[in-house]
A and B are shown apart, each in its own frame.
Chain A
Amino acid sequence: MRIRSIELTNFRQFAGQQEFSLMGEKDRPVSLIFGANGAGKTNMLNAFTWALYGEMSDDVEYQERMVTDSVWRATASGDFVEVAVELTLDHEGEAYRIRRSIKARKEADDQRAASAGVEMWVIRGDGSSETIEYPQPKIDSILPKRLSRFFFFNGERIEKLVQKHAYAEVRQDIKTLLGLEVVERALSRKHLPAVEKKLSAELRKRGGERAAEIQDRIDQLRDQESGEREELVILTDQLATYTEERDGVEELLRQHQDAAPLQRELDRIKRELDESKTSMNAAGVERDGIVGSKGFLAFTEDLVTRTSAMAVALHERGALPAPLKREFVDKLLVDGTCICGTALTEHTEPFHNVEAWRAKAGLAEVEAVWQKLGGQISEIASARQSVRSSLENAIGRVTSQRDRIHRLEEEDSDVRRQLSDVPLEDVQRLEAKRQDMDSRITDANRKIGSAGTALGKATKEIEQEVNELKNAKVTDELAAKARERLHLVHSVQAALQEILVIRSEDMRNRLDAKVKKVFADITFRPYIPILSQDFSLGLFQDVNGVLLPVPKSTGENQVLSLSFVAAVSELAREISVGRASDGERSADAGVFPIVMDAAFGSLDENYQREVARSLAKMAPQLVVLVSKSQGLGKVLGELSPHLSHIGVIVTHTTLAGEASEHISLEDGEHPYIIAGADADYAELKVIR
């Protein structure tokens, strides 16, 4: 989806009809629109979402005042006035026009909430257009409403995206964007499992009783499997909520004058506990590795002693195996017969040949073999000793870390007791809440574990039943056909389940790598964002090899969220290109514009520049709404090579005391605020 233009008619501050083209040149995907505080930047951002979904963000005040105040005042009582936003856009090779409008009749001075209607057309190559009968579902199929948060947002509020409680929704949105939701849906109750049930009923009707019984069991197991899967989603969301609440309580304790020293102590203990647990786990893995690969050496002491004694005895007898022993040659000469049967008579050629071997064979070989064997025996003994030392070392570290963990846990309990005993009601209340959250977190983790086990068991049992079904007897051709169709559905379900796992892991890894890269490009702090298995995003710091979570300041949250948006946008596009080659999607299916208000929020200048640079490179279309103070200078410098359009939302104000302002753009001075105007309204002026 690429937006070609936006046209506003009496929409909020934008009096009359105003249009702005957004179609950029190739490699210049950015449009930059300046506006003073209160000029209408937030309303312009909301014009996009209102046109698409009929909704505006919560931070827009007086949402019933859709018509420009001055236009409403000038409208005679009983007359109609139209407010509309029209978007033209391209999506998957088609051009569309979307128009949402309200025809409001003035009955009082105050505006009342009125319902809007939406129309949509496909624009043909010859300029003709065809009305789309059900526009809203069509718009939702281009960009579902809930995904719009990634593409139309206020930079100052974007940090909400990375807050834990948002993950239940954000995770699902990411899955939709990255093409995972379609696979999940196919596997859900009303889809392929429902097809199984219908085919099973046919099978039973056709006399395939045994096969139908097996299918009944599969149906039950599928229900169980879906139930466990849904339970896991709920539990994971609960865990995220509890964790966020617990973190919030801890933050309050850190800020509380009387509780802060104790909370700092708890933070230290937690850091040390994390370090100790990581070290103990690493030592445990090392110990298991030694036991697994070299553990057998522990049982070689007796073997080494006995082999050594045996070798000494053989050596003394000169009986160690060697390539050729002198005694053996002597015996052949005395016996007078070679091993090949030739007679060995003195002074004959065969006798001399064998006698020559006697000189070559002998004790030298025995000595060499002895030395080799002795070396091997001592190698085993020394390896055994080395394994013992390594094992003692690893076990020692496990034990010492375990002792340290016990000590730290005791310290932790002690400090928590002290916190509970602080004679201040608010501290006790916070500590009680923390303990409650801790216990809920433990409980949720336990339930997640058992739901995961039950899910695995159900999946395995389904596999067994499916195999049994293949061999179940059927009575006639129609029953055989029903069974064959069931088998096809089973194969596809199994394949989709595996594809879902593969795609989820692949997407998570790719998104994680992209977020890391973008974040590292923007920030100068040594923090590492990590996208977890359940697609929740956290910020960590490497402290002596241990990754510890860092409290996120608002600025870092904003950078993290912007990195996340940029990474999601880029990955969605890459995936679409990949799938388009497989015929699964069209080439621009994953292309979405990013429209940002207050793009750089409370970021400092360095961050503003880096964010501008990253977004300009990653977004296929970027519309940035900024104030003069945020958008000029370094930001404009970074965006300049990527800019196609520049605009200014000129503020016309009736306030005479307000000073008029200009903005320097494109080698010229342009009005920014016009004071002493006839009416209050915003004018969207095209500069480039």
Chain B
Amino acid sequence: MNNPLRTEQDVLGELSVEARAYLKRVLEIERARLHVTDPDLADDLLEAVKRILT
């Protein structure tokens, strides 16, 4: 953690395929609601994890 030499690619490279897919989906969900003040996205994010690990 917080090693100044580590890059975003290093972090992503250490994730499992499922974790990478979930991270991408999380950012998509968040970005789609970026204009909404204080949204509650727990259900959407939960559904996404269940879709990846069925």
Q: Is the CB of A137 within 8 A of B45?
A: no
**In the complex, what distance in Å separates the CA atom of A313 from the CA atom of B7?**
60
Residues of B within 8 A of A481 (CB): 53
A141 in the interface (beta carbon within 8 A): yes
**Chain B: minimal CB distance from A103 (Å):** 27
- How does the 8 Å CB contact mask read for B1-39 relative to A, with 1 for contact and 0 for none? 110101110011011101100111011001110111011
Classify the secondary structure of A's interface with B. Answer: helix
Q: Is the CB of B8 within 8 A of A491?
A: no
Q: Is the CB of B27 within 8 A of A183?
A: yes
Chain B residue with the shortest CB-CB distance to A142: B35
The segment from A194-202, A204-212, A664-672 that touches chain B is A194-202
**Chain A: minimal CB distance from B32 (Å):** 8
Residues of A within 8 A of B14 (CB): 495
Q: Is the CB of A190 within 8 A of B39?
A: yes
Q: Is the CB of A182 within 8 A of B30?
A: yes
Residues of B within 8 A of A502 (CB): 6-8, 11
Given contacts A481-B53, A488-B52, A496-B23, contact A181 B34 (CB under 8 A): yes
Residues of B within 8 A of A195 (CB): 42, 45-46, 49
Residues of A within 8 A of B22 (CB): 488-489, 492
A358 in the interface (beta carbon within 8 A): no
Q: Is the CB of A503 within 8 A of B35?
A: no
Q: Please, how many residues of chain A have a CB less than 8 angstroms from a CB on the other chain?
A: 37
Classify the secondary structure of B's interface with A. Answer: helix
**Chain A: minimal CB distance from B40 (Å):** 5
Given contacts A185-B34, A485-B49, A499-B11, contact A194 B19 (CB under 8 A): no
Residues of A within 8 A of B16 (CB): 488, 491
Given contacts A491-B15, A499-B11, A502-B6, contact A144 B45 (CB under 8 A): no
A314 in the interface (beta carbon within 8 A): no
Query: Which of these, B6, B8, B31, B45, contacts A182 with CB under 8 Å?
Result: B31
A186 in the interface (beta carbon within 8 A): yes
Most buried by B among A186, A485, A488, A492: A492
Residues of A within 8 A of B40 (CB): 190, 194
Residues of B within 8 A of A499 (CB): 8, 11
Q: Is the CB of A182 within 8 A of B1?
A: no
Q: Is the CB of A496 within 8 A of B26?
A: yes
Q: Is the CB of A192 within 8 A of B26?
A: yes
**Chain B: minimal CB distance from A429 (Å):** 40
Given contacts A190-B39, A488-B18, A499-B11, contact A198 B34 (CB under 8 A): no
**Chain A: minimal CB distance from B53 (Å):** 5
**Chain A: minimal CB distance from B48 (Å):** 9
**Chain B: minimal CB distance from A25 (Å):** 32
**In the complex, what distance in Å separates the CA atom of A198 from the CA atom of B27?**
19
Query: Which of these, A176, A484, A491, A498, contacts B2 with CB under 8 Å?
Result: A498
Query: Which of these, B12, B36, B39, B52, contacts A495 with CB under 8 Å?
Result: B12
Residues of A within 8 A of B45 (CB): 186, 191-192, 194-195
Q: Is the CB of B11 within 8 A of A191?
A: no
**In the complex, what distance in Å separates the CA atom of A363 from the CA atom of B49?**
82
A59 in the interface (beta carbon within 8 A): no
**Chain A: minimal CB distance from B42 (Å):** 4
**In the complex, what distance in Å separates the CA atom of A383 from the CA atom of B50?**
66
Q: Is the CB of B35 within 8 A of A137?
A: yes
A-B contact pairs, 8 of them (CB 8 A): A137-B36, A191-B42, A195-B45, A485-B49, A485-B53, A488-B18, A495-B12, A495-B23
Other than the known A182-B30, A198-B42, what 7 A-B pairs have Cβ atoms closer than 8 Å? A141-B35, A144-B34, A185-B30, A192-B45, A195-B46, A195-B49, A492-B15
- Residues in chain B within 8 A of chain A (CB atoms): 1-2, 4, 6-8, 11-12, 14-16, 18-19, 22-24, 26-27, 30-32, 34-36, 38-42, 45-46, 49-50, 52-53
- Residues in chain A within 8 A of chain B (CB atoms): 137, 140-141, 144, 176, 181-183, 185-186, 190-192, 194-195, 197-199, 481, 484-485, 488-489, 491-492, 494-499, 501-503, 505, 584-585
Q: Which 10 A-B pairs have the closest CB atoms?
A: A194-B42, A140-B35, A141-B35, A491-B19, A182-B30, A195-B45, A492-B23, A190-B40, A195-B46, A186-B30
